[in-house]
Structure 1
């Protein structure tokens, strides 16, 4: 029998020891080569748990970091099958859900999942895969208004809600069906299901519990049927919401399978290059939200293919995370930049044993190089922390590979590495839509099987990200270097135009954080109205002072930062819009900085006369 990992390698994949040859053609591809072929109609659940392969030996798959509740692999799969019998539209269960749509040209059942990380969340997702039930992942941080918007945007007809979030649902429903001419609320109140921490309950208030459905399904016979997937709609995900209310991305089974496969390909090829065992067991800290594309890859799309014990945390708590790492001997820390920063700067990290940690990875937002180095110094192998790159619209696009694999050079922090397996890229002038030469900044365009189907019921937004068929416009400014490595610069929409010159907000932020006296621990930079009406902007910064900065006082810190930026950056990048000291920088749950929110607050203050604009 062929090794399990062999199905993750294309028959004509590049040899791991053969150098990747960079070139100057506009379209460049991943050094890993193409995806291996898969069945046209493959379902995500059967990708993760192939019916023709022997089941791995049992192990703890999920552990609750707070209660120590455990779910083993075999128990997980049995529960998935039980729940799927009840969720299936043509199954024997009593729930009575309808058939889901194949795309947004037809109506059908869409189940909303509204919960923080929970040891049973991945079971819900895989039961949906197996039942061919489309679901929509909803942020548990949603306000009632945001939830109301998402329920309508995703056309949610049924809902699984964690018991602690039920009050948010109640308030959202009070907002009504929605304005005329927009998508209406279609949630059936009789199809609200509660995810309860008390597994003995059959109901909460008047609503069935998830556990009652699992118990019902365990008593039903398993129908014999072929599971379908392929190009069919699999799930909906929220956009990050950094530019207005979130949209809903359509992810097909094929998109999801290839997103899960990329990490398996890179892990397999890296292990073969290092001549060590492939896809070995890992113990993973489970803080990345499961409703997010990053968390979906970690907690759902790789299950069964790479053995892992996932220690799930319902929300971030620094000391709980450190205790969890020490207690469970965590080997892998998938994080987002704000959490990397906390771990790097907190003195609490010195009080706990982190010797089990073999690797840290950051994703979902830009990771400043200084932060990556600071945390690396506290870990056993001292290795720099790589920062992967992806979007909600294409979960995984690029990442730094192992140095030497395919003859590749190291990807220093600040770069996002090389294209991941199966991806092609271009760097395009966002104004004239023409490819730019290597070494020139431009917008990154990508194509590959991980790219989403488009936005649900939003043709205009879909057309904006697919200017050319198949090519996703990422909205990110990058530079492709001589080796075809990608250097991230900024979001195009967050570029600041000063007298016709572009200023990358992240460059100014990194400079502020890099002050030799470490005066600030976080910084946000955005363009604000210069009050002259000429379309040009002032560059303004909001900073969170360090202990040293607080001791020196706001006036001293602001003066020193202005001098530092003036000595390091070109004149058009100077902080002509001023520096404001704040307690915290607002971010999305995935770690993306909400520059728009800071900018809007500033403009509101100027209009109200509370802030005096610099002219």
Structure 2
């Protein structure tokens, strides 16, 4: 972080041309020999239930979760898997209570987790497999046909209960075990462990990046740890005596779902109710049945809730978390009028920033209509003139550059794309045209490159606007 004086109102420092976050910095662990799983498991909290399967009501306590992760890691480190540091493990699955166990077990061994959208075609998944070259895949029986059979030595762990009946003729030689079977392995504290540091790769998520075809985004354990700290700080969960309950409607294969719901919130005692498929009636049932207090949404769902003839029953819900596009003044006011007991929070981020780069963290901040919020803790930003490269002051529009401990390591096996997106001194060029106002609020007004956002995901396009 720069040390020159910044305007306390906007965060802008004329000497550096950079904006500093107005939020208090969050502490980051200094121990270099630390992986994100050890970091999460060592945190103290008073939570009891970690995960709830929305469809069955099955509850997993924190003790059971960490026992399952340790058991699965022991099994994966042994034959026939032999998963090691630097190996890639693919997760191809809808949201599931098994998803965090698979991800955490693999990362604890120093393996790199790559995730795929279950809605992708077999050809798209084959392309990702050819690029990432995983040695292991976690998937469901229904999605197994999408995995390329030509992948050399790809072993499969089914992310479903051992008691789930296999359909007739469903034998597949690639299937080695189920997640229940490996999770039941007795943890071996004496097994040899590879040294995993904060600088080591943790995830490989595929994104359209700032332009062009899909690229693998490499995030380190340090990136994940810093974003976990930012997420917990945002929801003020560490100092709370109340156990908050989050309904996971966002996809765990996506950066926000992976960082928040498959890792981060598991470090602070929150309960995560996992919804495998979004349907409005099921969402409402879960809110009531499980006492949900936090609900992540995309703007179209908020529109539907506001348009409903009568207020929907939201039980104990206190906050909704919206991302993908900024909310209009009319939508925010309409929601507040119909659901006055619920606060709206918004966020902005990219796969390359390991999720949240700016956010509104209170109802008051969300009243700054059209904003993506204040910069996240531990963050600097520049607004750069795309033609001259000049760093611009408040209320001037240019490309947003951000810098912080969560910025990706780079694009996988793509030095040229990395060098064009991340500067040598760590600035991530987002490709978003933005300005920061006199109070430090970020506004995204367009895209610099030829991409649009559709339901929160980046898609190449010839001509577009980011927020419609």
Using structure 1 for the length normalisation, give the TM-score: 0.67
Task: Render the CA deviation track for 1:412-471: whole Å, top value 9, x for unaligned.
Answer: 131011111111110001122211232110011011110000100111211121245311
**C-alpha distance in 2, partners of 1:160/1:410?**
39
**Partner residue of 1:188 out of 136, 153, 156:** 153
**Equivalent position of 2:199 in the other structure:** 231
Q: Does 1:100 align with 2:100?
A: no
Q: Which ranges of 4 or more aligned residues in structure 1 deviate by more than 6 Å? A: 200-203
**1:507 aligns to what?**
none
- Aligned 8 A contact 1:266 1:421 in 2: no
Task: State which of 59, 69, 76 in structure 2 corresponds to 1:87.
Answer: 76
Equivalent residue runs for 1:384-423 within 5 Å:
385-394=344-353, 395-402=355-362, 412-423=368-379
Structure 1: how far apart are the matches of 2:361 and 2:275? 28
Alignment of 1:167-246 (within 5 A): 167-169=145-147, 172-173=148-149, 187-189=152-154, 191-199=155-163, 205-206=172-173, 207-208=175-176, 209-215=178-184, 217-218=185-186, 220=188, 222-223=190-191, 228-240=196-208, 244-246=212-214
Distance 2:340 2:152 in 1: 50
Q: Which residue of structure 1 lines up, in the alignment, with residue 441 of structure 2?
A: 485
The answer on whether the counterparts of 2:450 and 2:463 sit within 8 Å (CA) in structure 1 is no
How far has the Cα of 1:336 moved from its partner?
Answer: 2.0
Query: Which of residues 140, 162, 165 in structure 1 aligns to 2:140?
Result: 162
- Does structure 2 conserve the Cα–Cα contact (< 8 Å) formed by 1:234 and 1:253? yes
Instruction: Specify the alignment match of 1:371 in structure 2.
Output: 331
Unaligned runs of 5+ residues in structure 2 are 1-7
Rg comparison, structure with higher value: 1
Measured after TM superposition, the shift of residue 245 of structure 1 is 3.7
**1:597, 1:138 → 2: CA distance?**
25
Cα deviation, 1:335-394, whole Å, max 9, x if unaligned, reads 2223323333244x63x42131100111234434433333333324254x2321110000
Question: Could you say if the C-alpha distance between residues 167 and 29 of structure 1 is closer, same or farther in structure 2, counting changes exceeding 3 Å?
Answer: same
* Alpha-carbon distance between aligned partners in 2 of 1:279 and 1:145, rounded to the nearest angstrom: 48
Tell me how many residue pairs correspond in the alignment. 451
Map of 1:432 onto structure 2: 388
Deviation of 1:143 (Å): 0.6
Q: Deviations over 1:147-202 (max 9, x none)?
A: 01111222222211112111222xx44xx6xxxxxxxxx5423x122212444679
Q: What is the CA deviation profile of residues 483-530 of structure 1, one whole-angstrom value per residue up to 9, with x for unaligned ones?
A: 2221111222259xxxxxxxxxxxxxxxxxxxxxxxxxxxxxx8xxxx
Query: Structure 1 regions of 5+ residues with no counterpart?
Result: 1-18, 102-108, 177-185, 496-525, 527-586, 600-615
- Once residues 71 and 401 of structure 1 are traced to their aligned partners in structure 2, the CA distance between those partners, rounded to angstroms, is 29
Q: Is contact 1:43-1:253 (8 Å) kept? A: yes
Paired with 1:58 and 1:99, the residues of 2 have a C-alpha distance of 31
In 2, are the aligned partners of 1:234 and 1:250 still within 8 Å (CA)? Answer: yes
Paired residues for 1:233-272 under 5 Å: 233-240=201-208, 244-268=212-236
Checking the alignment, whether the CA contact within 8 Å between 1:267 and 1:279 is kept in structure 2 is no
Deviations 1:382-410 (A, max 9, x none): 54x23211100002111124478xxxx76
Structure 1 counterpart SS, 2:129: helix
Residues of 1 paired with 2:10 and 2:459: CA distance?
39
TM-score, normalised by the number of residues in structure 2: 0.87
Q: What's the secondary structure of 1:319's corresponding residue? A: helix
Work out whether residues 364 and 391 of structure 1, in 8 Å CA contact, stay in contact via their aligned partners in 2: no
Q: Aligned match of 2:67 in 78, 87, 90?
A: 78
Structural RMSD (CA) = 3.1
The 1:44–1:201 alpha-carbon spacing in structure 2 relative to 1, beyond 3 Å, is: farther
